[in-house]
Amino acid sequence: MRSFIAVLIALTVAGCGDTILNVPTQPTPNASTTPNVPILGRHTIAFRVTGNSNGARVRYSTPIDGLSQLTTTLPYNATFQTNSDSMFLSLEGTPLSYPIAINNPFFSIQIVVDGYLFREATSAEFLLNTLSVNGTWRQ
């Protein structure tokens, strides 16, 4: 036990030494030499599903990712970026169910391109019908 304590003390003393503090005397130069300029031809596409249902089945397709299907809670938002000038976009949504306490059901699907609404469909009924929007977006 004494040898363990002696080794521990030796390691502690050996670890002590000069403390070097680097205090900056001037601001650090900016590492980035390129300005923050948006990339020309870059477009942001968002698939949005909103409403007051308990959840939804969502299907959307793009030429980049193909067909995506999922079951999710609301709201749902999927976003991707592309350099393409035209693209076929498709979005479908089906509400799973509505809570018992809901008097005014609401379900909406939207495709938004660069912040502008491209396609939209809404429903305000208790029927669990599938909403679908699609189209070829062109710049």
104-118 residue pLDDT tens: 899 999 999 999 999
pLDDT value at residue 121: 94
Spell out the residues 6+ positions from residue 95 whose beta carbon is closer than 8 angstroms to its own: 51, 53, 54, 55, 56, 105, 107, 123, 128
To the nearest whole percent, how much of the chain has pLDDT over 70? 71
3-state secondary structure labels for all residues of 51-80: ECCCCEEEEEEECCCEEEEEEECCCEEEEE
pTM for the structure as a whole? 0.68
CATH topology of domain 39-138: Immunoglobulin-like (2.60.40)
pLDDT value at residue 127: 86
Question: Domain boundaries in the chain?
Answer: 39-138
4-18 residue pLDDT tens: 676 666 656 555 555
